[in-house]
Amino acid sequence: MRIALTALLFLAATVALAAGPGIEAGTPAPAFELVDPSGEPVKLTDFEGRVVVVNFWASWCSPCLRELPELDALHGRLREDGAVVLALNVDRARGPALGAVRKLALSLPVALDPKQTAVEAYSPAGLPATYVVDRTGMVRSVRNGEIEAQDVPALEAEVRGLLGVD
């Protein structure tokens, strides 16, 4: 029964995420103003002039939880060069999101979207979803689905290319 309920909730959330046309590469990244786990504001404009990898995830999404450590490590390698990986959580409740952040010991910045404002603006096809935003605020690429270890070098190369560093 619990497995069926979890599957039904996942399906409903995925359908809700896919309701809009979705942001595509070559379009301006929608602005958002959310909060971090401590309640401090987080805005996309906080990262103006930097390359931002915006990753939408949820605590109930297994592929999301598998990819977050890879993205956290990527953030650690790129932050000195002027890039940031922002983990944007779409859970409606703070508790599960904060629990996942603690369990995974994430060091990358996290933003909470309990009112679903950013997820509605970006309208990803499902979770996880990752958007690379260049220094001018344009979406340069969209990756739907889990970023696995073998996918990270291509993502890192793309970001480094946008930064103009090797």
Q: H/E/C letters for each residue in 97-152?
A: HHHHHHHHCCCCCEEECCCCHHHHHHCCCCCCEEEEECCCCEEEEEEECCCCHHHH
Q: What is the rounded CA–CA span in Å between residue 150 and residue 130?
A: 16
Lowest average pLDDT, out of 2-11, 24-33, 121-130, 143-152, goes to 2-11
Residues 6+ apart with CB under 8 A from 105: none
For residue 116, pLDDT over 50 is answered with yes
Helix locations, the chain, DSSP H: 2-17, 62-78, 94-104, 117-122, 152-163
Q: What is the rounded CA–CA span in Å between residue 103 and residue 88?
A: 16
Q: What is the rounded CA–CA span in Å between residue 146 and residue 152?
A: 11
Average pLDDT, the chain: 90
Q: Which domains are assigned to the chain?
A: 2-163 (3.40.30.10)
What pLDDT is stored for residue 1 in this prediction? 52
Model confidence pLDDT, tens digit, residues 19-65 = 556 999 999 999 999 999 999 999 999 999 999 999 999 999 999 99
